Structure 1
């Protein structure tokens, strides 16, 4: 019987990121997928700033930025005319090293992740399907069907279900998938085109009859179109071709399509499973939650799930934490997933709503009100923090403690870069560390050295206070770079107490 520590079912971005983090942390993984290779017709496009921050730990950030496209502005079209233009250039300035909307299609993204995983000595086992699994006292035994049709057994300590909306793992553990499906049929197409909407910016047509968004891709004249099919054509989803859906909205935006590289239709769902974990099986990404593409949140949320879970699995497998640590995965992620589904549902309903009133609001009111709101710096920053996922925090969670200044345990570490001192630079280690802004007490430095806990001290700057950090306070960061503990006294006893309470042992 083949053995591994973590068996990962599903090799989309979520499964690949989980495999990468676990491999970096020294955990043995097997990752399987029914497909013959990375996706070629995927819909996810945006790589949000928080994902780019976390990708520093895998040395992936620069490659994602180099291969993708930064979107400088959003345009709204109504009745064949550009009615509003909103610059995105300064929305996230000072909040993150990556203050922009970044487009990097999921299919290209997956290829990059696969190559990175292979460089670490792990290959995706393609055309391999999870048939069933059973739990034992100390692990799971999975039945896998390989490319030749033969079945074999795999024994693992834990099973990670990254197997999408039709998850076999979720079906087996019976956690349900309540929610619904929107009635509209959507299409997605990767095209080469010319026209005023192929200027490197994002263009959205809010017409009452059709909805289409034109997302710029890297390379001249390349774009991805996402739009609705509203009338009787929606009943012919299986046989629809691009020519059947491309007339009205695309014509109004004056697009001239020179080549269609691929085309697909799909329905949008909004669902969240009732549990993210049952015993030794976990649900991650689309297996746990699916929602509308509004705001480009889906893939990034799955990646966030994977990173949240990876360091906890590694700590337990390596004997540095009890299994109780794994309960914090659902506690920290399910609430965010539920709120995300609710918020994207509202945005989706606004963008696709039918009827005279909905059309009036979308085509007459929104093009005026939205740019007006975005003229205020506070509104732009709030929108960026929400969409970029830099607003996500675990305040009040089972692993979060304390307050120092305006920063609480569970927060994302505020980014400060001044005089060449960037406090995000040490975050690539994917392990626990302590930050002090100002001066570190000698007893704190001695305790950290004794425990092999990295201590990073940054000379105090007014910029630190502006971000809510307290002078000389202690900030303990988790391996996923969220704050575990904020302690104004900077006492080593507070660190000792924290690790004892959460049941985590530091590496020797």
Structure 2
């Protein structure tokens, strides 16, 4: 019988990120996966800006960017004509160090994460399957099937189900997974292509009763995502030649080679609970939704990082177990909102009929082009796509405000006077930021509590971003603002930690 702090079931990006962040904070983890190796095909493709910001904590961002392909723009086509080119950089460059959509195939992504995990002493145990588990109240007892067919009993203080949409962990807990499955069948194809649209950018082609998206991961190579319009009982047996090529031809795209092709159905579901006792659901085990906007994998990674710092704090006796309840409290609302938003967009893109075709092909491209010229609309769209808009305002760990910045917000990124205020966020730790001057009481509190204090000279850029001169912002280990205080910050911070059950930040 073996024991560890956390048993992680599933070694996709979500499970690997959870293992990385826990191990970096001193937790002992075991990560298992029933498959023989990382998926051989590129499923999730997009890594958004917020994920890259968080990847800085383990020095992962640069490696992922260098391995992936930056897409600076989305091009919208309708009936064979380019209708709009939406560039991320003019707006995104003011909001994040990563003003682009990074396309990085999931199979490559998983391999990189697994290599990083192995480099810090944890190896994914492949062909190892969770057969059963019991929550004994003070520990988890799990029965595992090993590669040779033998079984082993493993114990852990907590269990994380990162085991996908069909999650055996969720089924064992009998947690509801409300939602449904869209009627339409989609296809995906990794292709080598030539033509004007094979320029290394994202292209969306809208046609009457047809559409296709092209996500480039190199010039001349990319992922096609399209719709199989006709209901086919043999959808699983379809080939690339069987699906409509009208939207592809409208991109003036010539497919030179198909490296991989598959069909799938899209689900939209959210688990009723993300935690039960010592067991957590993370990523697709907790929520699945349409691929619109490439949000799925990024949301799972966000789940993992949110849970990791809380588990680490409890494991190190720095916080009470009640802190772990905030994982569900913060992530389930976002998952529900995301499913609702992507559901509306998915329905619009796939709706059939003359009116739907007219709105999608004639009206939507014109509106998109017009709206994107409006600065506030352009910023909102980028924030939503990049997940830099995600916040925990009103959540169980969020308090107060100073200026426009509230507890639960992502800290605004402000490179000013040659200083990057995100540089200290590479540490997975509580910290305090002050823009201007810090009071003596705050300095003393930070010293006593061993909380790093970062003071940035006040500039007009800070005011534009909504910060308040001399206010103090208490940041969580996942870089979100916990509490913002314009005055008496030391007292406010001490009271906050006591209220949320943090004994040693």
Contact 1:400/1:485 (<8 A) preserved: yes
Can you list the C-alpha shifts for 1:13-67, whole angstroms capped at 9, x where unaligned?
1000000000000000000111111112232111111101100001000111111
Give the whole-Å Cα distance in 2 for the aligned partners of 1:163 and 1:442.
Answer: 49
SS at match of 1:238: helix
Task: Spell out the pairing of 1:177-326 with structure 2 (5 A cutoff).
Answer: 177-218=177-218, 220-232=219-231, 234-245=232-243, 247-326=245-324
**Alpha-carbon deviation of 1:397?**
1.2
SS at match of 2:226: strand
Count the aligned residue pairs. Answer: 505
Contact 2:391/2:409 (<8 A) preserved: yes
Q: Are the structure 2 counterparts of residues 131 and 209 from structure 1 closer, same or farther at C-alpha, using a change threshold of 3 Å?
A: same
Contact 2:189/2:260 (<8 A) preserved: yes
Give the whole-Å Cα distance in 1 for the aligned partners of 2:386 and 2:85.
Answer: 20
Q: Which moved more, 1:242-251 or 1:62-71?
A: 242-251
| 2:43 corresponds to | 43
**Alpha-carbon deviation of 1:499?**
1.2
| 2:123 corresponds to | 123
TM-score norm. by structure 1 comes to 0.97
Residue 108 of structure 1 pairs with residue 108 of structure 2? yes
**Alpha-carbon deviation of 1:505?**
2.1
Can you list the C-alpha shifts for 1:190-237, whole angstroms capped at 9, x where unaligned?
11111111011211111123221111113x3111111111114x3212
**Alpha-carbon deviation of 1:111?**
1.1
Residue 63 of structure 1 pairs with residue 53 of structure 2? no
SS at match of 2:292: coil
Task: Say which of 317, 331, 334 aligns to 1:333.
Answer: 331
Can you list the C-alpha shifts for 1:55-104, whole angstroms capped at 9, x where unaligned?
00010001111111221222222333333333333131211111222211
| 1:503 corresponds to | 501
SS at match of 2:77: strand
Give the whole-Å Cα distance in 1 for the aligned partners of 2:364 and 2:378.
Answer: 16
Q: Are the structure 2 counterparts of residues 283 and 83 from structure 1 closer, same or farther at C-alpha, using a change threshold of 3 Å?
A: same
Give the whole-Å Cα distance in 2 for the aligned partners of 1:305 and 1:107.
Answer: 20
| 1:21 corresponds to | 21
Residue 163 of structure 1 pairs with residue 196 of structure 2? no
Contact 1:41/1:264 (<8 A) preserved: no
| 1:389 corresponds to | 387
| 1:137 corresponds to | 137
**Alpha-carbon deviation of 1:348?**
0.6
Give the whole-Å Cα distance in 2 for the aligned partners of 1:122 and 1:93.
Answer: 36
SS at match of 2:177: coil
| 1:414 corresponds to | 412
Task: Say which of 397, 401, 405 aligns to 1:403.
Answer: 401
Residue 3 of structure 1 pairs with residue 7 of structure 2? no
TM-score norm. by structure 2 comes to 0.98
Give the whole-Å Cα distance in 1 for the aligned partners of 2:341 and 2:180.
Answer: 15
| 2:95 corresponds to | 95
| 1:354 corresponds to | 352
SS at match of 1:211: strand
| 1:150 corresponds to | 150
Give the whole-Å Cα distance in 2 for the aligned partners of 1:328 and 1:267.
Answer: 32
Give the whole-Å Cα distance in 2 for the aligned partners of 1:470 and 1:85.
Answer: 36
Residue 435 of structure 1 pairs with residue 433 of structure 2? yes
| 1:364 corresponds to | 362
